[in-house]
């Protein structure tokens, strides 16, 4: 596994996302066995960064992640757990409650990283960060970040945070370069902020092309693995694909070890 480092923080290039673990926007207990099997497979494979949110399955994803960690042989301190506060909970008291509820569902004492999941029109970031800063001071959160923030909002977050903003989590893949066009990737790379790519293979719907297929054949890998390798070939970028298929979980993890040539990276970038 390759790693990406910024000041005081090192994370694996590929982590495990938990969107659709435990359900979609609401909990679906009928999927618990499949979800727990996926989490156990990820832990057994060697993933150490797990990304979740109170919004995922209305908190049930956090419950299942916590259960899988407790049942595993992996110590909590060996893992890096990220969660997020939903956009409708950005007022001071709501942020504090949301974090406490996430910790209760996870049955953990702290989060390694806590993100604002989405910006919301009319939000008062001053109140949000007053709560987030308190959570850091109280030891409930180790690092702060944001998600789906443009450069203007990212700068505001940096000004309001008492500790460095270490992460901005946004959609990014071979077919989605919107956060390159709006300047966010460049800003993160120039300001020591990790850029976490979500939906790096479009939830398994990434469209293939001749370039992608040829490079995959050359490396004896899948096109999805090459797509992931391209994402993490760039500085300051990590990613969090998700799968419930044990084979795909392993393949995603192994994608970090694929060494693309600069020519291949350029071909994919321009494809």
List, by residue number, the catalytic residues. Answer: 56
Distances (CA, A) of 38 to 16, 45, 63, 225: 10, 10, 14, 18
CA distance 38 to 252: 13
**CA-based nearest residue to 91, from 146, 52, 148, 129:** 129
* Under 8 Å between Cβ of 249 and 38: yes
Return the percent helix, strand and coil in the chain, to nearest 5: 50, 20, 30
The token pair at 103 is 């910790």
């Amino acid at each position: 596994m390759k790693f990406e480092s910024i000041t005081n923080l090192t994370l694996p290039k590929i982590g495990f996302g938990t969107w659709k673990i435990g359900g979609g926007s609401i909990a679906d207990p009928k999927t618990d066995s499949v979800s727990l099997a996926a989490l156990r497979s990820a832990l057994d494979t060697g993933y150490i960064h797990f990304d979740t949110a109170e919004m995922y399955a209305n908190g049930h994803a956090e419950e299942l992640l916590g259960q899988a960690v407790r049942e595993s042989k992996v110590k909590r301190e060996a893992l890096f757990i990220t969660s997020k506060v939903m956009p409708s909970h950005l007022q001071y008291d709501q942020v504090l409650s949301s974090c406490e509820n996430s910790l209760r569902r996870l049955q953990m004492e702290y989060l390694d990283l806590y993100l604002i999941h989405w910006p919301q029109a009319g939000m008062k970031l001053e109140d949000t960060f007053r709560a987030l800063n308190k959570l850091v001071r109280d030891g409930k959160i180790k690092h702060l970040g944001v998600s789906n923030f443009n450069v203007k909002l990212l700068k505001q977050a940096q000004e309001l945070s008492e500790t460095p903003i270490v992460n901005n989590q946004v959609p990014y893949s071979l077919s989605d370069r919107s956060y390159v066009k709006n300047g966010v990737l460049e800003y993160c790379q120039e300001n020591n902020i990790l850029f976490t790519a979500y939906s790096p293979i479009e939830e398994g719907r990434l469209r293939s092309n001749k370039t992608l297929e040829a490079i995959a054949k050359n490396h004896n890998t899948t096109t999805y693995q090459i797509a992931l390798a391209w994402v993490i070939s760039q500085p300051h970028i990590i990613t969090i694909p998700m799968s419930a298929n044990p084979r795909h979980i392993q393949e995603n993890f192994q994608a970090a070890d694929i060494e693309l040539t600069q020519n291949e990276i350029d071909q994919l970038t321009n494809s």
